[in-house]
Amino acid sequence: MKDAIKKWNSISLVKRIICGLIIGIILGLIVPQASAIGILGQLFVGALKGVAPILVFFLVMSALCHMGAGQKTNMKFIVILYIMGNLISAFTAVIASYAFPITLTFSETEGAGDIAPPSGITEVLTNLLMNLVKNPVDSIVNANYIGILFWAIIFGVALKAASEGTKTALENISDATATAVKWIISCAPFGIMGLIFTVISEQGLGVLLGYGKLIIVLVGSMAVVALVINPIVVFLFTKQNPYPLVFKCLKGSFITAFFTRSSAANIPVNMELCKELGLDEDTYSISIPLGATVNMAGAAITISVMALATANTVGVKVDFITAIILCVLAALSAAGASGVAGGSLLLIPMACSLFGIPNDVAMQAVGVGFIVGVIQDSCETGLNSSTDVLYTAVAELRDRRLHPENYAAK
């Protein structure tokens, strides 16, 4: 058994995931009634979501309490990249919507009518700030990463004066949690198999055919950001061929995020990828969970495209200046999407209100969003999550290029 496990782990994780993906599709087509297979996917996502808050809390706290005076991180530049990424993504979506105008076929969809969207950007940002100061235990239990980061930073700074024994104990807990994460990630092929089986056997893809153009614009915009915009950003700041790093992030992060459809569940995966890339743990232990909360390029695209499609459907003409305002609104609200139940789809009515579109009409667009969500949400999460790692890497590579003396001893 040990030899079999060793041989299994010696195979590339991506190859194992692809095998799980193929087997899941085959089983979904041949034995769709075997619902027990889907439990594997639920267990995998549940395990990742369960361990991620603990990992972030202890990793950040341990990193900060060990951080020496004057030790530098690249967080300021990473946050700037996150904000600019949201804005550029929203602008890309606006350009795509003007080039390929879309109209929607409205129909009420289960799940869209019994939820209340936020009333405006103030409510979104207020919710985000209130999550910052929530009870730390409640934040860990409910995977509130803004709150987890806030309290981990507070306790980490406070513990700088603690004894070496206390710091060592924290480091040991952090290392043990990271080891548990590795074990869970090694089960990814089985989890992916269960997730894709559920999609194929229960939802199918036939329902998406009527929304083909909408899906193409959404996914196409995300592809432009991932394969054109992000490489340009990488080249501008690293002066290197960007595609090896871009494809490394897409391969290591996008695939799992696509199937789990959860940025929170992908935090442990991203941290492992950052470690593999040789990045500074003091930086990525903060930037990755922060990115899972505020770096929402895919959400900015979804909000922009759906809002403009709704405007086209009801005959509202949107001038370019108003579209630019929409970009800013989408970027800001996307950064607060994790603090709103339903994520990016529930921010569509808020964006539609910019054009004077009634809430009941906008909620029908949310219903369409639920229909295409099987593709849209998967690609959106994949883009968001892989970009967290990419921007973290870009910031460090830029700093290494500008200040090589800081890394000479590392």
Contact 387, 274 (CB under 8 A): no
* Residue whose C-alpha is closest to residue 362's, from 325, 314, 323, 310: 310
Contact 232, 390 (CB under 8 A): no
* 17 — pLDDT class (breaks 50, 70, 90): confident
Cβ count near 175 (within 10 Å) = 13
**Does residue 37 carry a pLDDT above 70?**
yes
* Residue whose C-alpha is closest to residue 174's, from 152, 146, 151: 152
The residue extents of the domains of the chain are 2-407
Per-range mean pLDDT, top range of 32-46, 232-246, 269-283: 232-246
Q: What is the pTM of this model?
A: 0.77
Q: What is the pLDDT of residues 106-161, one digit of tens each?
A: 654 444 444 455 555 676 667 777 878 889 899 888 877 778 888 988 998 898 88
Alpha-carbon distance values, 126 to 129, 131, 164, 222 (Å): 5, 9, 39, 28
- CATH number 1.10.3860.10 given to 2-407: yes
Question: How far is residue 331's CA from residue 246's CA, in Å, rounded to a whole number?
Answer: 22
Question: How far is residue 400's CA from residue 409's CA, in Å, rounded to a whole number?
Answer: 12
Q: How far is CA 219 from the centre of its chain?
A: 15
Question: How far is residue 6's CA from residue 15's CA, in Å, rounded to a whole number?
Answer: 15
Q: What is the pLDDT of residues 337-387, one digit of tens each?
A: 654 445 678 788 888 888 888 877 888 888 788 777 778 888 998 999 999
Question: How far is residue 17's CA from residue 180's CA, in Å, rounded to a whole number?
Answer: 19
Q: What is the pLDDT of residues 241-250, one digit of tens each?
A: 999 999 999 9
**Does residue 233 carry a pLDDT above 90?**
yes
